[in-house]
Amino acid sequence: MSDLRKRFEAAIMPNYGVPPLALARGEGCRVWDADGDVYLDLIGGIAVSALGHAHPAVVEAVSAQVATIAHTSNLFLHEPEVLLAERLLELLDADGRVFFANSGTEANEAAYKLVRRHAGPDRTYVVAAEGGFHGRTMGALALTGKAAIREPFGPYGADVRFVPYGSVEALHEAVTDRCAAVFLEPTQGEGGVVPPPEGYLAAARRICDETGAALVLDEIQSGIGRTGVWFQHRREGVRPDVITLAKGLGGGLPIGVCVGLGPYGTAFSKGDHGSTFGGNPVSCAAALAVIDTIVKDGLLEHVTAVGDRLADGIAAIEDPLLSGVRGSGLWRAIVLAEPKSAQVEAAAREAGFLVNAVAPDAVRLAPPLIITDEEAASFVAALPEILRKA
């Protein structure tokens, strides 16, 4: 593995540093590194591997599709993309249209262009939240409320006004009839799995309705069952104008989705936007397999039950470094009393568990939706020693 890390360092741009592990294979919720050591995967490729690794349903769907036709471009249609669009609109229970891309950041780029197209020239700015994350391409990065990653690449050709996440008063002051859209995450993922105060999304919906601004909800991490419901905004009883999806939908295959509801579904005209690989047949086949398996195996209920037991087990641990646990379903953050998340991540890895130091004082857990009670309990049992070592 050390040789592979040296080759990585010599061949790959340094924006990732050099990752600590070289993963060679995976099965279910476990992965093996190049030296043969095994780990329980509690981060799932950053909330991507919804069905874990090498799930038979995904393997079968992808294998069958790639053996049939792997790529068509947007010059031709194919049935898997139509089936997937229909399934997503059915799950959303909404009148709308779907645009397929390859990633979350591309889905948000599409959403940004879509709301600007619909708004016209008189609505000159958008509003987003401090601490939010919407991607790293220039349009999505302009919407991202993390100064450390946004500011080095400015200025941007966009007027984006940031407000504190969770503040209804700030949102009310910022959104006027000159605002094209409000971009929010139902829970801030890269901010540390930070849920909003009760009623915040409903207030955002009301403010957008009063001013005519679009409400765009970024469900790239929270969507497709991660929190125990198909889409987290459903739990709040709020319907967005635009929703973006990615990550867990493809079960490990690259996919991004921008869904425009109501008039936003037809705001683009022919030629307004596009993607060579978006709606790729193989990725669409994988996504259909993910959705079908979540339904067939009752994984929404499973996510809620196992996620609650995992959170309760963590909360019951008495350690001066442990401040609490937040989030929902199988999307949780272990909140620390000190900025030692990197040390916790390293200690967990040494103990055979992969977690993510998402913020200095927060460790993110986003395991595959198929994780068992026994697997989750094994991490809870090991956590006191992990905290002690950290």
Q: Token pair of 169, please?
A: 């008063």
d(C-alpha 336, C-alpha 84), whole Å: 40
Q: Has residue 312 got a pLDDT over 80?
A: yes
pLDDT score recorded for residue 2? 81
The separation between CA 196 and the C-alpha centre of its own chain, rounded to angstroms, equals 16
pLDDT tens per residue across span 198-213: 999 999 999 999 999 9
CB atoms within 10 A of CB 320: 10
* Phi, psi dihedrals of residue 251, rounded to the nearest 5°: 60, 25
Q: What integer best gives the mean pLDDT of the chain? A: 96
DSSP per residue over 190-220, as a string? TTTSBPPPTTHHHHHHHHHHHHT-EEEEE-T
Q: Using pLDDT thresholds of 50, 70 and 90, give the confidence band for residue 35.
A: very high
Looking at residue 265, what is its pLDDT?
97
% of the chain at pLDDT higher than 90:
94
User: What is the CATH topology of the domain spanning 58-296?
Assistant: Aspartate Aminotransferase; domain 2 (3.40.640)
- Residue 28 pairs in a beta bridge with 53
Rounded Cα distance, 51 and 294, in Å: 8
Q: How confident is the model at residue 1 (pLDDT cuts 50, 70, 90)?
A: confident
Q: What pLDDT digit, counting tens, does each position of 143-194 carry? A: 999 888 899 998 888 899 999 999 999 999 999 999 999 999 999 999 999 9
Domain boundaries defined on the chain: 2-55+298-389, 58-296
**Residues 314-319: contacts with CB under 8 Å, at least 24 apart:** 314/380, 314/383, 317/380, 317/383, 317/384, 317/387, 319/384, 319/387, 319/388
**Nearest 5°: CA angle at 191, between 255 and 309?**
85
> What are the DSSP calls for 142-207, one per residue?
HT---HHHHGGG---SS-EEEE-TT-HHHHHHH--TTEEEEEE-SSBTTTTSBPPPTTHHHHHHHH
Q: Is the peptide bond before 155 cis (omega within 30 degrees of 0)?
A: yes
Q: How confident is the model at residue 331 (pLDDT cuts 50, 70, 90)?
A: very high
Which H or E run contains 354?
Answer: strand 353-354
* CATH for 2-55+298-389, options being 3.30.2310.20, 3.40.50.800, 3.30.365.10, 3.90.1150.10: 3.90.1150.10
Query: Given the DSSP bridges, would you call strands 331-336 and 322-328 parallel, antiparallel or unpaired?
Result: antiparallel
pLDDT tens digit string along 102-132? Answer: 999 999 999 999 999 999 999 999 999 999 9
Residue 220's pLDDT band (cuts 50, 70, 90): very high
Where do we find the tokens 């924006």? 15
- Read off the pLDDT of residues 76-96 as tens digits, 9 standing for 90 and up: 999 999 999 999 999 999 999
Mean pLDDT score, 236-245: 96
Q: What pLDDT does residue 335 have? A: 98
Q: Which residue has the higher pLDDT, 375 or 137?
A: 375
Give the Cβ contact number of residue 172 at 10 Å. 16
pLDDT of residue 193: 98
Scored b (16 or more CB within 10 A) or e, 284-300 reads bbbbbbbbebbeeeebb
Share above pLDDT 70 across residues of the chain, in percent, rounded to a whole number: 100
Look at residue 349 and tell me whether its pLDDT is greater than 80: yes
Nearest to 234 by CA among 329, 130, 343, 128: 329
Strands 331-336 and 362-365: antiparallel
- What average pLDDT does range 11-30 have in this prediction? 95
Q: Is 271 left (phi over 0), alpha (psi -120 to 50) or beta?
A: left
- Return all residues near 166 (Cβ < 8 A) that are at least 6 apart: 196, 197, 200
User: What mean pLDDT is predicted for residues 49-72?
Assistant: 98
What integer is the mean pLDDT of 10-39?
A: 95
For residues 318-343, average pLDDT:
98
